[in-house]
Amino acid sequence: MNRRIQVDGLPYRTRVYVNNQVLIPSELVRLLGIEKSLFANVVIRHEGRIININGVKLLRNRRATSRQFTIPREVRETYGIKPLDEIEIVSIEPVEAISNRRNAILNS
Q: How far apart are CA 37 and CA 103, in angstroms?
A: 12
> 3-state SS string over the chain?
CCCCCCCCCCCEEEECCCCCEEEECHHHHHHHCCCCCCEEEEEEEECCEEEEEEEEECEECCCCCCEEEECCHHHHHHHCCCCCCEEEEEEEEECHHHHHHHHHHHHC
What pTM does this model have? 0.81
Summary mean pLDDT of the chain: 89
- pLDDT: is 62 or 94 the higher one? 94
Mean pLDDT of all residues in 48-66: 93
